[in-house]
Chain A
């Protein structure tokens, strides 16, 4: 059997197995409506069940809270981290109107018991990839003064229109490199362009 045959044979098996298992979430043959297709790959990740269905829409869109108000580490550290629980509580103590909502009750349950919320990672890169949030935020938000929703959205999509976040970009190596290859204007005043580093060691340390 030559390579082509093996390949098709292999995918044939795979199709039938997946069809039987009905892995609808992990597997989107036609692409869900509104999904981007990048490099021929459907970029929409599976729906992730979170311990609390955090409504990004309410916070970032309706209330217009800057992403970095909660994700405060993104501009200071390689990892964006997850907002500290006392940050949620700090505000929600002041909003008694919503206190009885199931999600807020759950939030206070974690706080009262001093337990950290076991969120699930939605954008979990392999361990051999070092993505640096700080570097990107500093460049595009602080230096270029682009809107925060746009800057975060380069990789995370329009989270402000989501409830719990879901992956909508491929975030593959090719996808990263595509962006790094593009010419980005250095700043609003400096028309010179530069592109992202193309060195293996930049991300694989």
Chain B
């Protein structure tokens, strides 16, 4: 019996049998079984995993002498993932960029970059990149040649179209450098000034306050000089204005003598998670708390009065009990904080998005900034930025007003040709704007993208752009802390897809149609950028030849304008801007505050197409690849909500469904969903995943600036009968794995001045 025979084989015999085994390439074996493709990647273990004759190994035909396969070459460039524009170094091997790191020459990055910057490499190799132009035919987008696509664009812009300048709109995100210059030149050639910069997560409210008080939208915050930072929802370590630079400053701030960070916000941000003390506050009342502090500060005998009496008088209304009642923070906290502030000087007070995104957002930010003035921080930890010798290249900060401007023009049916680049307004615009419908009235919509997103899908012509690692450019960050730094962007590798084009080349082609004489000398964007950079040589007081100057700019990746420090010479304070002392009435229909969170990687969803970001755990909750609703464990207990229960979050604008995540770092009557997910397009990694909180934002705007109040929506929270597993990195139990690894104390029990 064969069975018996097999059973009788002892170990020795088996070893011998094994020796006689045939070798079968594991890959062949899988092929035989009809398993191939993804399953075949199982191949790899054992001694038969070496392959022969399967893959190709191609040599260079005639490489540069310095090229050694397997050895990396490093090129400097600039990160374009967020407006901080860190200098980066790309590691290139065999003509492929493999990794980005920080460029040590860059003041902003100081040799480091964030996860978002690291992941930008995935834009390049994304399998869903748009590789050919597309045009709309019979209501559908179909692949086309560049000639076909550009003919439609030229026909729309040409003489026969009888187009008037202001009927052309160029919608972008925040933009700077020669990108901005070219856009403006293009529009000017049509006598149009319609460059609209729209950013769904704009800092406009705070910028406006700082502009009005100091005369600068972006004064430098000297974090490292401060000994105490009081931050009202400013996530400067996460999704801030320059996270890499500020994290570096923060590391120095934490060195001996160790600085203290106090964070006040309704939902714990990454920065809040790093703070020594974290105070949850009722959303929208941050300004009132700041004035409570201001009122207590000016009582102090050391207080040196420079504020107008009218203002100090009005501060009296903000006594600690009233403030405590309005904000939900224990009134004694004010006393503790004041004691620390006087002790740990200099201080620095920062306002952030969650304090500014309210109907009284401007007043909140104003009250917070007032603390810097009272504490004497101006000139010490709040200083003026450097003087910028290139005003035409300065960063334009996008804002919600951009969307309003577009919306108004769309309502007036005044837009004939709409160019869009770096924005996805169909995804980010709140539902009440009904942008999708309005866009259908625009006769010619042109999207310039690397990947088809929700907006590009509605356009008539979609032009495939080079990825940032294939492109030239110059960038001026919005936050320029120590010098004016011009980031030079250069291709780190040749373009991957033959039919993609540089943004600059497209615009130069269009410009040549209008003004052949001025632009014919630039065969391509490269020559344009090169000449522009070389012409700026005198500003840098360089004695190098043109060629050497250009080469050194490419090698260093940054150009620094010699220091020319400015001073904040006058501070203008008006008491009319103070937030009102009023209790926030409960809304019976919508009893919860909705405070969406801005993740350092996803931001407003523009990076949801990068799988590294999708798979990296959210630093606060460790959840991956999804949306979730953060709810306070006590509230959850009252509502009998367990982790994974599907909750319906409903505002007056609509509702979304997401899994509950019990999160102690949030106010009891508040829920939060991160921005970034809920795409219906934008490639396989982004689409059909999670929900989009922009769509339930109420139409509330900041009274003063008109910016959308992103954190002022009230919602109902309803538990549905469904429960799904929350995919996350932390163990099955939240809160330090159910063990008290790090003991914490409620803020009202802590005696801050003694402890920190």
Contact = CB atoms under 8 A, between A and B. Distances in A.
Given A172-B47, A174-B47, A83 B59 contact: yes
Contact of A26 (B14, B25, B43): B25
B54 interface: yes
Nearest to B29: A14
Interface string A17-28: 110010100111
Given A21-B32, A48-B52, 10 more contacts: A76-B68, A77-B68, A116-B60, A120-B53, A120-B54, A120-B56, A121-B57, A124-B50, A124-B51, A126-B43
B569 interface: no
B60 A77 contact: no
A8 B59 contact: no
Contact of A77 (B14, B47, B62, B71): B71
Given A78-B70, A82-B58, A40 B21 contact: yes
B12 interface: no
A111 B47 CA distance: 38
Interface of A is mostly: loop
A170 B53 CA distance: 15
A202 interface: no
A86 B67 CA distance: 13
Given A26-B24, A29-B22, A73-B68, A123 B50 contact: yes
A19 to B, nearest CB: 10
Interface string A106-124: 0000110011111111111
Contact of B48 (A41, A79, A128): A41
Contacts of B9: 4
B741 interface: no
B619 interface: no
A27 B23 CA distance: 6
B22 A119 contact: no
Among the interface residues A120, A167, A171, which one has the most CB atoms of the partner chain B within 10 A? Answer: A120
Contacts of B32: 14, 17-18, 21
Contacts of B68: 73, 76-77, 81
Interface in B66-81: 68-71
A4 B14 contact: yes
Given A114-B61, A119-B58, A121-B52, A27 B47 contact: no
Nearest to B28: A26
Among the interface residues B14, B29, B46, B53, which one has the most CB atoms of the partner chain A within 10 A? Answer: B53
Contacts of A125: 50
Contacts of A104: none
B7 interface: yes
Interface in A42-71: 42, 45-49
B6 interface: yes
Contacts of A76: 68, 71
A85 interface: yes
Among the interface residues B7, B24, B46, which one has the most CB atoms of the partner chain A within 10 A? Answer: B24
A18 B33 CA distance: 11
A188 interface: no
Contacts of A27: 22-24, 28
21 contacts: A4-B7, A4-B9, A4-B14, A26-B25, A40-B19, A42-B23, A77-B70, A79-B70, A114-B61, A116-B61, A118-B56, A119-B56, A119-B57, A119-B59, A120-B52, A121-B52, A121-B54, A123-B50, A166-B52, A167-B50, A171-B50
A41 B52 contact: no
B49 interface: yes
A70 B55 CA distance: 21
A174 B55 CA distance: 24
Contacts of A45: 50, 52-53
A114 B63 CA distance: 12
Contacts of A97: none
Interface residues of B, number: 40
B18 interface: yes
Interface in B1-25: 3, 6-7, 9, 14, 18-25
A84 B21 contact: no
Contacts of A142: none
A2 B9 CA distance: 12
A85 B52 contact: no
A172 B69 contact: no
B4 to A, nearest CB: 11
Interface in B387-416: none
B523 interface: no
B268 to A, nearest CB: 36
Given A11-B21, A17-B32, A73-B70, A82 B47 contact: no
Contacts of A15: 22
A121 B51 contact: yes
Contacts of A47: 53
B44 interface: yes
Contacts of B48: 41, 172
A39 interface: yes
Contact of B47 (A28, A83, A85, A175): A175
A189 interface: no
A81 B59 contact: yes
A191 interface: no
A173 interface: yes
Nearest to A128: B44
A192 interface: no
Interface string B343-358: 0000000000000000
Contacts of A175: 47
A205 interface: no
A101 interface: no
A154 B25 CA distance: 22
B53 A82 contact: no
B28 A121 contact: no
Given A14-B24, A172-B47, A116 B54 contact: no
B24 A18 contact: yes
Nearest to B71: A77
Contacts of A128: 44
B22 to A, nearest CB: 5
A65 B43 CA distance: 37
A122 B20 CA distance: 25
A120 B57 contact: yes
A79 B44 CA distance: 19
A41 B26 CA distance: 14
A133 B43 CA distance: 24
A117 B59 CA distance: 7
A81 B48 CA distance: 23
A4 B5 CA distance: 11
